A and B are shown apart, each in its own frame.
Chain A
């Protein structure tokens, strides 16, 4: 409640706070940046109305392709009663006080499946305020009672007389009355007409005609393009280099060594000259380490075996570790394979005291921090602009090309755009860190869970980069390493803990982060236990879950898939993640996945089809993790010569994927972007174990032996 009041006050800053005055005066760089990009009259920080009656809505999230701009605008438009065709969606400026996500401690970060979840209340409030302003003004103009009025179809309707005033007419009459709104003024869910529908995205036509412009497509005028030559192995530094061949490449306009000696930037008039120039550099690098994936795995396992290793306790006391007989689960490092290259441009501002950066990013706040640190300037002297991103999946949160762009622009004294080619990022960039888990569980005579011991060892992304974001009672829990570990099953005797093991590859965020392996270990352990005890995995779960919404989701996915049919190889998995209840069933024939069913309850559905698309995409990602993906290191370097060395599930191999939503009108929306991943990984493994009678202790599932010896038919048409 207090939170909502605070949000309401924040939403009003543009109207009655001092911010508006300062913005009008244009006195400082800070004020210029904080200005909302409205062309109409602001009703609050998120909503304005133009002279023509169109509604302008600020989107505080970045456009990563997940559909946030439309979904968030739909929440506001629903509250206002606005016609979506008369709504313009505008990107928010960097102003965390007004546009930060409450779920990210008020920072502007678009990640972690928290966008709709985090902005839901705030945007309803903003919309309700706008609606009441329009109603109050229309009522005053027409001599109606506000209580007799409703806003719908872009008009205020006087219900007793069935007459209306269009939003354009209301604004044309002049001064708007702004009565404010409380939580009680939010529209009741049974009056929603827009939420839960599937309107076309505003950028759909631009995408299919090639007009949508991403960061890489928007090189600032006058900026040359930089490509970095970096060490072929992790952590390599420049010992010596010769750039004479590079300087002879046509179009190359500069060469610049990064201060930390980790890379040499080659600047060119176009992408090709920079790429060619970078390739032509002759560099001697410091020697590679002996690091490899096997030694990393050994270190992770050792951390679980050493009782003195300090652990973060998630459940229980941490005093009773898993026995040596516990099942072990290995998940490899993963890379994002970003479609659009990482990119950022930088240009001096304010006579060189400040810098303007533009990037395909997930966080204007973190871009600002990187740029300010690199430029050695104050945050208010950093201007940040986000462009649409060609895929993000967590990689553009710690958007380190901003650092490179700022450093190169400062060194050269001219604007530059940095592009990091995909293979370069895959070879040396951030990874979802590898993890080893140990899990044991037992059933008692009644078939209830008697005990549960789950231990996880991995590097921690927040621990490494953003330690102030750690959670938990001791401030040591890294949710990017522990997500998914909180299973929904009743068990009195539980120990769940995480051990951080620092590793050489740079840890990063990646769609599904830890949940895609913690849920895998949990659901596979459970299903093995139940099958060997002769228990039906569905019936048991339904009996041992307290959450009625999750139980309903399980029942739905069972009905969809025909769970219980004899002679089929089905695997099941369920979880609660960011408030969303989700369950997957996967069917395997031979060693081929040919059908995936997913049911979910994500609370109030905002954009039905985009939610389904997010879950489908998550399922594809989960299948690819289960069956293909893994980044291997050898002799201190990623074992990658080309994209072909990182197998992924392709369009041609996709099984049928069916998604069903259980809608909960008015409930806070849950996460969407990642929820399709974890249960799909787990259900795929469970189905594969059911089909083959084997146990898989590593991702991706190793099916080569089964296929080679021809035990199983792999043909499916």
Chain B
């Protein structure tokens, strides 16, 4: 099939042998965007989180043909220079250890903050609860999301 979709704001057309190839492998293996990671391949860890039409989604559970015509944003498209409030907060709080799960964590957090500018601690915990960080950066992730919410409110749109 020829998959046509919007990726990080650009119109893309990709020839695919298997229309059921999970989006994460379209991104990584076909398009070379390795910023999106994967771990469990079962939609249970959150490492492969991207935005599909503005919503956080597990890209290992989405087949290529399902994003035809959709708009997909990956970590590479959040901001190239790390200026997105979530990325800034992540750097300031020194969240990352190995860093593997962090693109997924960041995309998950960005999705929360795009719909909720004043998340409570409970809402942050609920939103981030499905993203696993095995290094144990969880306490910092929760702090960084709260900080990002503050930074977003300060940043003029």
Contact = CB atoms under 8 A, between A and B. Distances in A.
A212 B22 CA distance: 22
Contact of A217 (B34, B75, B76): B34
A65 B39 contact: no
A396 to B, nearest CB: 11
Interface stretch (B98-106, B111-119, B149-157): B98-106
B57 to A, nearest CB: 16
A38 interface: no
Interface in B64-93: 74-76, 78-82, 87, 90-91
B44 to A, nearest CB: 4
Interface string B37-74: 11111101101000000000000000000000000001
Contacts of B100: 65, 214, 339-340, 390-391
A213 interface: yes
B138 A210 contact: no
Contacts of A340: 37, 39, 98, 100
Contacts of B125: 651-654
B135 A642 contact: no
B5 interface: no
A91 interface: no
A619 B37 CA distance: 25
A406 to B, nearest CB: 23
Contact of B44 (A200, A610, A643): A643
B75 A210 contact: yes
Interface residues of B, number: 60
Interface stretch (A141-149, A162-170, A268-276, A699-707): A268-276
A609 interface: yes
Nearest to A336: B134
A621 interface: yes
Interface in B103-157: 103, 106, 122, 125-126, 128-142
A216 B87 CA distance: 23
A279 B103 CA distance: 28
B29 A271 contact: yes
Contacts of B74: 210
A101 interface: no
Interface residues of A, number: 68
A200 B128 contact: no
Contacts of A251: 17-18
Contact of B134 (A212, A271, A338): A338
A109 B113 CA distance: 41
Given A66-B97, A251-B17, A620-B138, A650 B40 contact: no
B93 to A, nearest CB: 9
A209 interface: yes
B29 A207 contact: no
B133 to A, nearest CB: 7
A211 interface: yes
| Most B-side CB within 10 Å, residue of A422, A610, A644, A676 | A422
Nearest to B22: A272
A339 B98 CA distance: 9
A324 B76 CA distance: 61
| Interface SS majority for chain B | loop
B137 A648 contact: no
B24 to A, nearest CB: 9
A642 B44 CA distance: 9
Given A208-B96, A422-B40, A616-B140, A337 B132 contact: yes
Contacts of A276: 18
A500 to B, nearest CB: 28
Contacts of A421: 41
A507 interface: no
B14 interface: no
A657 interface: yes
A643 B28 contact: no
A204 interface: yes
Contact of A271 (B28, B82, B87, B140): B28
Interface in A404-450: 421-423
Contacts of B39: 338-341, 422
A384 to B, nearest CB: 20
Interface string A640-676: 0011100010111110110000000000000000001
A648 B21 CA distance: 29
A201 interface: yes
Contacts of B103: 207-208, 210
Interface in A601-625: 609-610, 613-614, 616-621
Contacts of A273: 17-18
B126 to A, nearest CB: 6
A339 B129 contact: no
A64 B98 contact: yes
B123 to A, nearest CB: 10
| Most B-side CB within 10 Å, residue of A216, A339, A392, A393 | A339
A198 interface: yes
A619 B39 CA distance: 22
A334 B21 CA distance: 32
A569 interface: no
A208 B76 contact: no
Contact of A613 (B29, B97, B132): B97
A642 B41 CA distance: 10
B42 A423 contact: yes
Contacts of B132: 337, 339, 648, 650-651
A339 B141 CA distance: 16
Contacts of A389: 98
Given A339-B101, A650-B138, A651-B131, 9 more contacts: A65-B98, A200-B94, A214-B100, A339-B134, A613-B140, A616-B137, A619-B136, A643-B44, A651-B128
Interface of A: 64-67, 198, 200-201, 203-214, 216-217, 225, 250-251, 270-273, 275-276, 336-341, 388-393, 421-423, 609-610, 613-614, 616-621, 642-644, 648, 650-654, 656-657, 676, 717
15 contacts: A203-B99, A207-B103, A209-B76, A210-B33, A211-B35, A270-B25, A339-B45, A341-B38, A610-B94, A642-B42, A643-B42, A643-B44, A652-B125, A654-B138, A676-B136
